[in-house]
Amino acid sequence: MTPPTSRTWAKRGHTPVIRVRGRSQRRFSIAALACYKQGERSRLVFRPKRHADHKRGGRRSLTWTDYRDLLTAAHQQLGAPLVLIWDNLNVHLDARLRTFIDTHDWVASYQLPYYAPDLNPVEGIWSLVRRAGQNNTAFTDPDHLMRVLRRTLRKLQYRSDVIDGCLAATGLTLTTSRPQNQ
């Protein structure tokens, strides 16, 4: 992962040049759910994965079973049904994952329009992760990167106001289709 740069400088009239070593080899993937429920604090459920066989031509992204396991863990952790609002990542459209969702009554899924990152609250989370945990950092090794990612995401887990802000930035609001029992 190429580290983002938040600030740089150069002499007047000279374009700053930033050199980074290496290039992305897609060794890591992270899936996250921004979880919202009216009257309760927002939560972030995430699963990072390191791809050990990336040099052997192995899969370099999360599989449908990784998402299935994330959904199951989130359901157990939250103790409530899930309503997913997903972008159109190819694995989100996988028939096996769709079958899993259709066969469980505690999860429902809705797709966002194609290429609508401005409607996806998790895109705000990724932006915060890049700006808060990775900017101006040269990682010494893959373990260093993973430690920083986990630490940054754990910090965000306890900031429900920030998670709420990611939803607010989309312009979407929480609504219910039926009256709630008080």
Ranges of each domain in the chain: 28-169
What pLDDT was estimated at residue 24? 54
pTM for the full predicted model: 0.73
Alpha-carbon distance values, 176 to 79, 83, 110, 142, 158 (Å): 18, 11, 15, 43, 25
**pLDDT recorded at residue 126:** 85
CA 171, CA 62: separation in Å to the nearest integer?
Answer: 29
Confidence at residue 182, expressed as pLDDT on a 0 to 100 scale: 44
Task: Tell me the residue ranges of DSSP E strands in 22-181.
Answer: 28-35, 43-50, 82-86, 107-111
Per-residue pLDDT of the chain (182 residues; tens, 9 = 90+): 455 556 667 788 887 776 655 555 557 788 888 888 877 888 888 888 877 765 555 566 888 999 999 999 999 888 888 888 888 888 888 899 999 999 999 988 888 888 888 888 888 888 888 887 777 777 777 788 888 888 888 888 888 888 888 888 888 777 655 444 44
Q: Which two tokens stand for residue 115?
A: 């290429």
pLDDT at 100: 93
Determine the pLDDT at residue 172: 75
CATH, range 28-169? 3.30.420.10
Q: Burial, 129: exposed, middle or buried (Cβ in 10 Å; 0-12, 13-18, 19+)?
A: buried
Write down the pLDDT at residue 63: 86
